[in-house]
Amino acid sequence: MESFIARQPIFNQKKQVVAYELLFRNGVQNSAMLQTTADGNAATSNVMTNALTLFGLENITKGKKAFINMTRDVLISQVPLAFDSSSLVIEILEDVPADIDVVSVLSHYKTSGYSIAMDDVVANESRDALVVLADIIKIDFMLTSETEQQQLAKRFLSEGKVLLAEKVETHAEFEAAVELGYTLFQGYFFAKPELLSRKEVRANKLNSLRLIAALQGAELALDELEEVIKNDVAMSYRLLRYINSAFFSFRVEISSIRQAIVLLGNREFRKWASLIAMSGLTDDKPEELLVTGLVRARFFELLAKGFQMGEQSDDLFLLGIFSILDGATDQTFETIFNEISLKSSIRDALLMNKGPYAAMMSAMRAFEAGDWMVFGQFVESNVRIAGSITETYLAAVEWANQSMTVIPTAG
């Protein structure tokens, strides 16, 4: 039986990742919503055990705190004490009652140095005994009105609580939450265009888009590539420094774009140059946006073998990288594809959720969101890869983390 684990970033007001919420599902057969107390207890216990042993908490969270949902029985069992208090935020599910045993054990966690978050708090919250002990109050922005969000902020800020706005999907919602005093955020606002209307693309981003376009031909046009890259000092620096890093370990220093293409070959150069182009597009965005693209790219590339799509692994890598183009440029995919030409298989998956790669793109988004019902259906229809999904995802996360340490910035 495979244990699925995914993570959702938690941001501060500067859009920096300060923690991850870990999301668990106990295999395909348990991919629907939790039906019983036993299911909930098993899920929580397993995600904690696996995070500590099988997956490695440091690999998943990069040293940041982990938010983990807790059922009543798991709280009472004191399993959370297996974690160092500096690495864990105990998240109380909305169905945990404020009975005497729960209040007692939470008081013990509190005095032991653990942070406590309450999930899905509503305006008529009846569990005041738990609210008193909570450090962080989570408000679902999809389930509450603007008036309720304001009322909840006013109440809990006056009580000295930290407010976390979850399911924040747009920059307008993010900015409204900041104005109200929310300081932590979850959602995909960081990965979507800040404005849906036409927005001017900076010159350096245009060069990155031109590079992406130049990489799309069946055969690389060396003269065009050299012109695009050499006309952008930052891009030239990034690409050559990256190719000369320990990530590749070439015996000789690569000093020209042509030399890089010869040594890497057309297919590999296309992949790495696309990565550098995306790093340029996201240099004014939250770092997690590029991390998301890298994880997706590597995840798709590794899954290609299981799908018997080895010949398409390069395209699937690019699909993952290019899936963040809209958020990187503050343009819709439709506008972007009017300016640059991508392979129809990649374009169709991103723009219309159609074509040979659409199912993988939908499954990736479901995985990131912890929508295990949708993701379970995907795995069930691709049984040959079911046994390696989590291992593959964690390998992709590790690769993305490693890549972020060697991708040079413009500065």
pLDDT tens digit sequence for 8-47: 999 999 999 999 998 776 554 444 444 444 455 655 565 5
**Whether 46 and 128 share a structural domain:** yes
- 136/386 Cα distance (integer angstroms): 36
Residue 187 and residue 208 share a domain: no
| Residue 198 included in any domain | no
Q: Which domain holds residue 18?
A: 4-191
Residue ranges of the alpha helices (H) in 5-99? Answer: 37-52, 57-61, 72-77
Greater pLDDT, 121 or 192 = 121
385/61: higher pLDDT: 61
Q: Decide which of 291 and 240 is more confident.
A: 291
Mean of all residue pLDDT scores within the chain: 83
pLDDT for position 218: 67
CATH at 363: 1.10.3210.10
- Cα 207 to chain centroid distance, Å, stands at 26
Q: Provide the number of structural domains found in the chain.
A: 2
pLDDT for 50 equals 59
Q: Is the pLDDT of residue 53 over 60?
A: no
Cα 226 to Cα 258: distance, rounded to the nearest angstrom = 8
- pLDDT for 35 equals 40
State the average pLDDT over residues 294-306: 87
What pLDDT was estimated at residue 39? 56
Kindly indicate the confidence band of residue 305, based on its pLDDT and cuts at 50, 70 and 90. Answer: confident
Within this chain, do residues 110 and 185 fall inside the same structural domain, yes or no?
yes
Structure token pair of residue 33: 């919503």
Position 368 in a domain: yes
Is residue 196 in some structural domain?
A: no
pLDDT confidence band for 134 (50 / 70 / 90): very high
Report CA torsion sign: 319, 324, 328, 331: positive
pLDDT band at 92 (very low <50, low <70, confident <90, very high): very high
Residue that terminates a domain, selected from 167, 191, 215: 191
- What pLDDT shows up at residue 408? 65
Tell me the mean pLDDT in the region 106-115: 95
Residues 6+ apart with CB under 8 A from 144: 122, 123, 152
187 and 209, same domain (yes or no): no
The pLDDT value given to residue 78: 84
Interval 187-224: pLDDT, tens: 999 888 775 444 555 667 777 888 888 887 667 777 77
Residue 111 CB partners (closer than 8 Å, separation 6+): none
pLDDT above 60: residue 410 = no
In a domain, 58, yes or no: yes
In sequence order, the β-bridge partners of residue 6 are 23
Residue with the bigger pLDDT between 402 and 231: it is 402
Predicted local confidence at residue 60, as pLDDT? 81
Q: How far apart are CA 220 and CA 234, in angstroms?
A: 21
* Interval 348-366: pLDDT, tens: 999 999 998 998 899 888 8
Same domain, 35 and 76: yes
pLDDT value of position 8: 92
Domain boundary among 191, 216, 247: 191
Distance separating alpha carbons of residues 117 and 132, to the nearest angstrom: 11
pLDDT number for residue 91: 94
Question: Is residue 298 domain-resident?
Answer: yes
pLDDT number for residue 31: 44
Residue that finishes a domain, picked among 141, 169, 191: 191
Q: For 330-337, what is the mean pLDDT?
A: 88
Shared-domain flag, residues 171 and 215: no
Cα–Cα distance measured from residue 36 to residue 107, given in angstroms and rounded to the nearest whole number: 27
Question: 227-267, pLDDT tens digit by residue?
Answer: 888 877 878 888 888 888 887 888 888 888 888 888 888 88
User: How confident is the model at residue 160, as a pLDDT?
Assistant: 96
Asked if the structure places residue 246 within a domain, the reply is yes
User: How far does the chain reach from its first CA to its final CA, in angstroms?
Assistant: 47
- In this structure, of 121-135, 198-212, 391-405, the range with the lowest mean pLDDT score is 198-212
Based on the fold, state whether residues 156 and 215 are members of the same structural domain. no
Pick the more confident residue, 53 or 398.
Answer: 398
Is the pLDDT assigned to residue 125 strictly greater than 90? no
Angle between helices 233-243 and 203-214 (to 10 degrees): 50
What are 7's two structure tokens? 């993570």
102 vs 388, more confident: 102
Is 135 a residue whose pLDDT tops 50?
Answer: yes
pLDDT of residue 350: 94
Predicted pLDDT at 24: 72
The average pLDDT across 263-272 equals: 82
**How far is CA 285 from each of CA 228, 235, 279, 369, 408, rounded to the nearest angstrom?**
23, 17, 10, 21, 15
Q: Is residue 107 part of a domain?
A: yes
Q: Is 137 helix (H, G, I), strand (E, B) or coil?
A: strand
Q: Does the residue 411 lie in any domain?
A: no
Do 353 and 242 belong to one domain? yes
- Same-domain check for residues 155 and 67: yes
Does one domain contain both 252 and 330?
yes
CA-nearest of 236, 245, 191, 244 to 211 is 236
pLDDT of residue 195: 52
Residue that wins the pLDDT comparison between 163 and 207: 163
The answer to whether the beta carbons of residues 305 and 34 sit under 8 Å apart is no
Confidence of residue 173 (pLDDT cuts 50, 70, 90): very high
Examine the domain organization and report whether 176 and 242 are in the same domain. no
Say whether both 12 and 156 belong to one domain.
yes
Specify the pTM.
Answer: 0.84
**Given a cut of 50, is residue 306 above it in pLDDT?**
yes
Identify the CATH number of the domain in which residue 37 sits: 3.20.20.450
